[in-house]
């Protein structure tokens, strides 16, 4: 461990594990072996997909929940409850509608037994700092989303925290408002106007991480774990169009989409390898066909750089990843080097009529999605060629959370229906073979 004298460690997480009990018994591991360190003076990004356990990790750091194993330390002390000196900003603003801006902000100080005139003064300062001067007596419903999140920031800053934890604080805001808030926050930080030692920013937005952070930690899914650290050596203020900025965004895209091949040793793919317990993203057959068509046509002609493609298709990174990986899973495309490229099959799919597309889809589904083949096998073997949804849900819940099991099953059912491999009766929650022979 390289510990230098001049940079103090603010937060240290070592071997943290978190498992939640399952309703059906047993447990589900959400975080495994999480290691990370935050030093004084830095903004660190934790970049991972939805459901990877980022919020759970933040709640452990904030002392709101306990880790199942490992430890988290704040300024050297084990975290075993809400620590004075750590504040958090949430994705949704969590303001009390019946309290004014001032009262909402002052609420942050409630736990700290501070004399009321001092509390009042500090709340006004915090409100000023976030640019809400003049709105002290407004109620949340009178504020725009951006202003409400400013109140969220003020409520965190009013305690004069050493460490600020931010859980996707800009993701509920529209694009322009989010960017203004990011810039304002970075200005406050670089001007030293927030007496904060370091910031941990949780996000699933690659560009946001590159814009704001000194270092980015890539977080894997299922279970969540830090799998890579990426320093961001780009001068501030940063420009999204700077070639260095673009290059880094591209290379992170690449690392996040390619764990299966390029980093097999250290990373787990978003889909766990191989069996019926492979997580399937919630991706509709329409968006699968849509992406194939877009890729096949001009200006891409079968190949595209992921970041501009996301922009062109008005999609979030998360959504494009999910669809892109589904194409990869079904062998309609390959993702490599931050690019997505249609395979020969993918190109053919784009040019076929709906009937042939269904056949091609069925073939890919049964060849490359083990769960689809498994469901078909079970239905084939049963005399009535029917099986209840719950039968498969229970089977999957041995390997994944109830939520993931439902999502995975929903996806495979939708895909199977489209391919006319099996049918599903919503009312009876019953799967059956589409064309039993």
Does position 259 interact with ligand ADP (CB under 6 A)? The reply is: no
Minimum distance of ligand ADP from residue 416's CB (angstroms): 24
DSSP-derived secondary structure letter, 218: E
In the bound state, the residue with its beta carbon closest to Mg ion is 55
Asked whether position 48 contacts ligand ADP by CB under 6 A, the answer is: yes
Q: Which is nearer to ligand ADP, 257 or 401 (CB)?
A: 401
Task: Pull the structure tokens for residue 166.
Answer: 């931010």
Least Å distance, CB 181 to Mg ion, is 18
Strand ranges (E), 195-283? 198-203, 215-220, 225-231
| Minimum separation from the CB atom of position 288 to ligand ADP (A) | 23
The H or E element spanning position 293 is helix 285-296
Question: In the numeric block, which tokens belong to residue 386?
Answer: 């029917």
- In 3D space, the residue among 26, 36, 27, 394 whose CA is nearest the CA of residue 225 turns out to be 36
* Site membership for ligand ADP, residue 30 (CB under 6 A): yes
- Applying CB under 5 A, the site for Mg ion has a residue count of 1
CB of 116 to ligand ADP, least distance (A): 35
Task: Report the side by side order of strands in the sheet with 69-74.
Answer: 27-39, 9-21, 69-74, 77-78
- 346: partner contacted, choices Mg ion, ligand ADP, none (Cβ within 5-8 A by kind): none
Q: For the CB of residue 204, give the shortest distance to Mg ion in the complex, in Å.
A: 8
Secondary structure (3-state) at 422:
strand
| Residues 6+ positions from 171 with CB-CB distance below 8 Å | 91, 178, 203, 204, 205
Q: Does 27 bind ligand ADP (CB under 6 A)?
A: no
Minimum CB distance to ligand ADP smaller for 157 or for 400: 400
Number of residues that bind ligand ADP (CB under 6 A): 12
Q: Residue 205 CB, nearest distance to ligand ADP (Å)? A: 13
| Ramachandran sector of residue 281 (left: φ over 0; alpha: ψ -120 to 50; beta: rest) | beta
Q: Report phi then psi at 387, rounded to 5.
A: -155, 140
Among 29, 33, 55, 414, binds Mg ion (CB under 5 A): 55
How many whole angstroms from its chain centre is CA 173? 16
Q: Which residues contact 136 (CB under 8 A, 6 or more apart)?
A: 100, 101, 102, 124, 127
Q: Is 66 helix (H, G, I), strand (E, B) or coil?
A: coil
Our finding on whether 20 is near ligand ADP (CB under 6 A) is yes
Least distance from ligand ADP to the Cβ atom of residue 270, Å: 12
What is the footprint of ligand ADP within residues 392-431 (CB under 6 A)?
A: 401, 403
| Residue 92 lies near Mg ion (rule: CB under 5 A) | no
Q: Under rule CB under 6 A, which residues in 50-109 are in contact with ligand ADP? A: 50-56
The two tokens of residue 426 are 């919503």
Contact set with Mg ion (CB under 5 A): 55
Contact set with ligand ADP (CB under 6 A): 20, 30, 48, 50-56, 401, 403
């Amino acid at each position: 461990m390289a510990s230098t004298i001049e940079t103090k460690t603010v937060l240290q997480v070592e071997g943290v594990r978190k498992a939640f009990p399952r309703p059906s018994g047993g447990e589900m591991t959400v975080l495994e072996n999480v290691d990370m360190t935050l030093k004084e003076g830095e903004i660190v990004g934790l970049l991972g997909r939805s459901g990877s356990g980022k919020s759970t990790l933040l709640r452990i750091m904030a002392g709101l929940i306990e880790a199942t194993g490992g430890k988290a330390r704040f300024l050297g002390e084990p975290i075993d409850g809400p620590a004075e000196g750590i504040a958090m900003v949430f994705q949704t603003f969590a303001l009390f509608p019946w309290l004014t801006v001032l009262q909402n902000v002052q609420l942050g100080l409630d736990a700290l037994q501070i004399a009321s005139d001092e509390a009042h003064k500090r709340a006004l300062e915090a409100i000023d700092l976030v640019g809400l001067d003049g709105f002290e007596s407004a109620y949340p419903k009178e504020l725009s989303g951006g202003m409400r999140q400013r109140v969220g920031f003020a409520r965190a800053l009013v305690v004069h925290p050493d460490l600020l934890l931010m859980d996707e604080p800009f993701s509920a805001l529209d694009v322009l408002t989010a960017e203004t808030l990011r810039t304002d926050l970075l200005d406050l930080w670089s001007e030293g106007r927030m007496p904060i030692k370091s910031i941990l920013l949780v996000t699933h937005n690659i560009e946001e991480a590159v814009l704001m952070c000194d270092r980015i930690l890539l977080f894997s899914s299922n279970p969540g774990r830090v799998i890579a650290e990426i320093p961001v050596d780009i001068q501030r203020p940063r420009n999204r169009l700077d070639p260095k900025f673009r290059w880094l965004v591209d290379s992170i895209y690449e690392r996040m989409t390619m764990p299966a091949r390029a980093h097999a040793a250290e990373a787990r793919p978003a889909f766990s390898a191989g069996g019926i317990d492979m997580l399937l993203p919630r991706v509709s057959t329409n968006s699968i066909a849509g992406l194939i068509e877009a890729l096949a046509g001009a200006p891409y002609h079968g190949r595209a750089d992921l970041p501009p493609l996301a922009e062109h298709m008005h999609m979030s990174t998360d959504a494009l990843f999910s669809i892109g990986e589904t194409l990869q899973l079904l062998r309609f495309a390959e993702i490599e080097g931050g690019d997505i490229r249609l395979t020969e099959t993918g190109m053919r799919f784009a040019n076929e009529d709906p009937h042939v597309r269904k056949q091609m889809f069925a073939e890919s589904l049964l060849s490359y999605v083990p769960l689809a083949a498994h469901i078909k096998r079970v239905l084939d073997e049963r005399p009535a060629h029917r099986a209840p949804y719950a039968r498969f849900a229970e089977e999957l819940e041995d390997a994944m959370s109830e939520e993931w099991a439902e999502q995975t099953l929903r996806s495979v059912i939708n895909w199977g229906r489209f391919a006319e491999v099996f049918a599903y009766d919503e009312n009876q929650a019953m799967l059956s073979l589409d064309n039993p022979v």
